[in-house]
Amino acid sequence: MTKKTLALTIASGLLAASLTGCTSSNADVQALEQKIAALEKENAELKAKDSKNVDAPAKKEKEAESENTTTAAAKDDKTIEANKAIKIGDFAEFTVTGAKFGTKIVPPKPDRFYTYYEVKDQANTYFDVVVKVKSLLTIGKGSDEFVSVKVVYDDKYEYDPFSAIEEKGGGDFTYTMITKIEPLKTGTLHFISEVPAEIAKDKKPIKVLITCNGEEYTYKYR
């Protein structure tokens, strides 16, 4: 019990005694009532202050937790944009240069003779994700070992593409599995998924998950 609460209790007792005593005057009773009212007010203010002091640490703790959660979310967010390079240590640097739908995928600068990819099932189409990869390694490495890609449609349907790499300055395609990217050189890879044609027409989200040296990034096509 605080001193103020004790004083209030004593004052209340005195008032009761005054009301029952025969010799107490009205003036004394009124003065005692005023003192009790003042003590009650002061006691209420002290309680409110104590409650505020108790709640303050909890409030600060909640704010700290919220800040930590926001920071963690920011660190976990690895959404990337087209044409912005992502460097992965001394392993590689990659850049998503774009993506498109098409029933026939051809090299950007076709030679007289070139390889192309065309869907056989007219109910389907291709979704071509283009990624430039620069090797930061000290030795050559297979071009298919730098990044892997998965396409996610409507946040649930997954498609695994096959890959090709440009050669002859974009005049032709060749296989990634037989082509190395030498140190500090860049290869342009195409990750081609065969998907239902309806996907190209609607507005549902399409995400491209790109994994490089164990780190996963997300490119939002739409």
pLDDT in tens, 77-105: 699 999 999 999 999 999 999 999 999 99
Task: Using DSSP bridges, classify how beta strands 79-80 and 215-220 pair: parallel, antiparallel or unpaired.
Answer: parallel
CA dihedral 191, 192, 197, 199 (to 10 degrees): -10
Please state, in angstroms and rounded to a whole number, the distance separating the CA atoms of residues 174 and 152: 26
Q: pTM of the predicted model, to two decimals?
A: 0.67
Task: Please tell me the distance from the alpha carbon of residue 90 to that of residue 137, in angstroms, as a whole number.
Answer: 6
What distance in Å separates the CA atoms of residue 95 and residue 130, rounded to the nearest whole number?
A: 8
pLDDT recorded at residue 75: 46
Tell me the average pLDDT of the chain.
84
Helix-helix angle 26-76:3-20, to 10 degrees: 150
Query: How are strands ordered across the β-sheet holding 162-167?
Result: 86-88, 92-102, 124-135, 186-196, 162-167, 172-175
Q: What residues of the chain score a pLDDT lower than 50?
A: 3-4, 6-8, 10-11, 14-15, 17-24, 68-75
C-alpha atoms less than 13 angstroms from C-alpha of 24 in its C-beta half-sphere: 14
Residue length of the chain: 222
pLDDT at 40: 77
What pLDDT, on a 0 to 100 scale, did the predictor assign at position 125? 98
